[in-house]
Structure 1
Amino acid sequence: MTNMHSVMMTVSRGLAMVGGIVLSALILMTCVSILGRHASAALNSDLVQTLAPGLAAWMLGLGLGPIYGDYELTELGMGFAVFCFLPLCQITSGHARVDIFTSFLHDTTNRWLRLIIEVIFLGAIALIAWRLSIGMSSRMRTGQTTYLLEWPVWWPYAACMVAASAAVIVALYMVYVRMLEAVTGADIIGEGGESEH
Structure 2
Amino acid sequence: MTVMIRRLADGFAVLGGVILLIIVAVTTTNTSAFILDRIAGMFGRNVAGLPGYEDFVQLAISGVALMFFPYCQAQRGHVAVELFVDRLPQRMQRGLDRLWLILTAGIALFLAYWMVFGLLEARSDGAVTSVLGWPVWPFYSPGLASMILWALVAISQISGQISGAPQDA
Give the TM-score taking structure 2 as reference length.
0.90
Is the Cα contact below 8 Å between 1:129 and 1:164 reproduced in 2? yes
Cα deviation, residue 121, structure 1: 0.6
What residue identity is the alignment partner of 1:86?
A: F
Structure 2 residue 144 is matched with structure 1 residue 144:
no
2:83 to 65, 85, 100: 100
SS of the aligned residue for 1:96 comes to coil
Alignment of 1:1-197 (within 5 A): 4-45=1-42, 48-49=43-44, 56=45, 60=46, 64-177=47-160, 188-191=163-166
Q: d(CA) in 1 for partners of 2:21 and 2:167? A: 27
Whole-angstrom distance in 1 between the partners of 2:97 and 2:48: 51
**Root mean square deviation, CA, Å:** 2.1
CA shift digits 1:86-135 (9 cap, x unpaired)? 11111111112221111211221111111011111111111111111000
> Shift in Å at residue 42 of structure 1?
1.8
User: More relative contact order in 1 or in 2 (CA 8 Å, sep 6+)?
Assistant: 2
* Matching residue's letter, 2:13: A
Could you tell me which residue of structure 2 aligns to residue 184 of structure 1?
A: none
Work out the percentage of aligned pairs sharing the same amino acid: 20
Relative to the length of structure 1, the TM-score reads: 0.78
- Report the Cα offset of residue 192 of structure 1: 7.0
- Residue 157 of structure 1 deviates from its aligned partner by 1.2
Aligned length: 169
**Does the 8 A contact of 2:16 with 2:64 survive in 1?**
yes
Greater Rg by CA: 1
Distance 1:37 1:75 in 2: 19
